Amino acid sequence: MTICFHCTKLGFVMKQHSLSVADIESPEVLIVGYKRQKELACGECGRVLFPEEMYFEDERDYESFVRKTLDAIAEKISAQLDYCSRCDGYDIERSIYLVNKGEARDLIKEGAYGQTVWEFMSDNDIPERYFNEIRKRLCCRNCGRRDLEIGQRVYSEDDMDSFWGRKLISFAFSYGINIGSADLEEFRTHLYYRPMLAMQHEVGGKYSQPFNGNSKRAPTIR
């Protein structure tokens, strides 16, 4: 069964990520010629194809091309996926949990950093019909994990720099607590290896100070 290129629904996302058919290894794509005597119609959508349109001779070629193209797209967008919640992203999620724990309202807004895998794919113009296949192909640059869950959070370098830099330092400073970037880096290491003892660490103790006293002001970090 002849299938037209349009039915892959990959043309737009390929263009957005600067991928052409020529970039795909051994693409099984044919082109409708001007001298063709008989009309060629797509067996999927029923549309009659015009000269110079790309198509696939059968379902096997179509599926092979889609598979290889999804590999190429996933490799491209994985370059933006610096961390996930299974590696350094866990430090952010654990820290937000510890700061918010026991508070009447969140002091650091959950979901303010990173995005879910679903959001990441949407932002990269992946057609929803391919979400599951792309999800399985994504690779965290930091830990190398694949097959990420659709609701799992992923993070960029900017997310890390923002959370462990300006936001937490300004949060502490608003209570007159001075914490430097070197202190935060040490706390991150402690949090990773001994999460249950986070508030026994010097930095963790400093963050708990505003909530152990009688302060009436508790700013929210957004």
> Which residues, other chains included, contact 204 with Cβ-Cβ below 8 Å and sequence gap of 6+?
98, 187, 190, 191, 198
* CA dist 186 → 124, 173, 192, 213 (Å): 34, 18, 10, 25
Token readout for 192 is: 């990773």
Q: Is the pTM of the predicted complex or chain greater than 0.85?
A: no
Percent of the chain with pLDDT over 90: 56
Helices (H), 101-143: 117-123, 131-137
Please name the helix (run of DSSP H) or strand (run of DSSP E) that holds residue 159, with its range, or none: helix 157-162
Q: What is the pLDDT of residues 183-196, one digit of tens each?
A: 555 655 544 444 44
Q: In the chain, where are the structural domains located?
A: 3-78, 83-212
d(CA 88, CA 113): 13
pLDDT in tens, 28-64: 999 999 877 789 999 999 999 999 999 999 999 999 9
Q: What is the pLDDT of residues 136-174, one digit of tens each?
A: 999 999 999 999 999 999 999 889 888 876 555 555 555
Q: Which residue has the tokens 């009659």?
A: 48
In the prediction, which pLDDT does 50 show?
Answer: 94
Rounded to the nearest integer, the mean pLDDT of the chain is 82
For helices 89-100 and 202-212, give the axis angle rounded to 10 degrees: 30
Does 13 score more than 90 pLDDT? yes
